[in-house]
Amino acid sequence: MDAKPAYQRILLKLSGEALMGTSDFGISPEVMSFLAREIKDVVASGVQVALVVGGGNIFRGEGLARAGMDRVTGDHMGMLATVINGLALQDAIERVGVPVRVQSALRINEVCEDYIRRKAVRHLEKGRVVVFAAGTGNPFFTTDSAAALRAIEINADLMLKATKVDGIYTADPKKYADARKYDELTYDEALTKRLGVMDQTAMVLCRDHGVRLCVYDMGRPGALKAIVMGDKTIGTRVH
């Protein structure tokens, strides 16, 4: 008989960059189908899965503002970019046979549902994956903050941040050979040491509401499933 998962409900944050694969823009079909299969495996083990998706592979408000655009308009474009990614994820995950609903923090009723917390929880209880798009719906925030917020709102047992490295390091492991990986860390340590886990708003939200976070390498096949089954050796835990 299969072992029981260690968590009932998780929230996985996928950055826009995570969807690009080896390109420097857009969405990689290979990455999408890989992610869809990884998520399917977790859903099949009985875990409820919510996703928050970023938009950095298409637009970031800050970058657009640096190029001269009005920041709020840039942030609106960034949030709409997350909706595009959300629809792509919905498609990829449905293609592997798992039902999905996209809920947007900005109203775009022709393409997806509005974010309604109770409805989102109902979807999760029915085994549907819920993709939270459009961040918090407000400019000057990030999708990491949106992920923290939604994790708290839906009472997720674990928030996961999928990255390209296998956890949080003392320094950038790609630049410094002596960089050391943390197995465990507190939000206060991450904040004081200014470790680039997430932006400070997201970390403070997580800290103040007791969100348990795991930062892991999304490219490692089976990692997501192993984490939800209770493997504590993967990635870095922040609490």
d(CA 212, CA 8) in angstroms, rounded, equals 13
Per-state percent for the chain, helix, strand, coil, to nearest 5: 40, 20, 45
Number of residues interacting with ligand UDP: please give it, by CB under 6 A: 24
Binding span for ligand UDP by CB under 6 A among 2-10, 73-81, 93-101, 204-212: 73-81
What type of residue sits at position 4?
K
86 is a contact residue toward ligand UDP (CB under 6 A): no
In contact, 86 and 102? CB cutoff 8 Å: yes
Least distance between ligand UDP and beta carbon 72 (Å): 8
Flag whether 59 is marked binding. Answer: no
User: Of 28, 33, 138, 201, which lies in the binding site for ligand UDP, with binding defined by CB under 6 A?
Assistant: 138
235 is a contact residue toward ligand UDP (CB under 6 A): no
Which helix (H) or strand (E) segment is 214 a member of?
strand 213-217
Binding span for ligand UDP by CB under 6 A among 3-11, 12-20, 205-213, 228-236: 12-20
Identity of the residue, 82 or 90, whose beta carbon is nearer to ligand UDP in the bound complex: 82
Phi, psi of 169 (to 5 degrees): -115, 160
Flag whether 35 is marked binding. Answer: no
- Tokens for 154, please give them: 């839906």
- Tokens for 77, please give them: 């474009």
Alpha helices in the chain (DSSP H): 29-44, 61-66, 71-95, 117-125, 143-153, 187-192, 200-208, 223-228
Binding span for ligand UDP by CB under 6 A among 42-50, 133-141, 216-224, 226-234: 133-141
User: Of 21, 139, 173, 219, which lies in the binding site for ligand UDP, with binding defined by CB under 6 A?
Assistant: 139
Map the footprint of ligand UDP across residues 156-215, applying CB under 6 A.
none
List the one residue out of 234, 213, 211 whose CA is nearest residue 222: 234
142 is a contact residue toward ligand UDP (CB under 6 A): yes
Cα 13 from chain centroid? 1
Flag whether 34 is marked binding. Answer: no
d(CA 48, CA 13) in angstroms, rounded, equals 14
56 is a contact residue toward ligand UDP (CB under 6 A): yes
Flag whether 91 is marked binding. Answer: no
d(CA 88, CA 106) in angstroms, rounded, equals 17
141 is a contact residue toward ligand UDP (CB under 6 A): yes
- Interface residues with ligand UDP (CB under 6 A)? 15-17, 54-56, 60-62, 74-75, 78-79, 81-82, 135-136, 138-139, 141-144, 146
Cite the annotated binding site for ATP by residue number: 13-16, 56, 60, 163, 169, 172
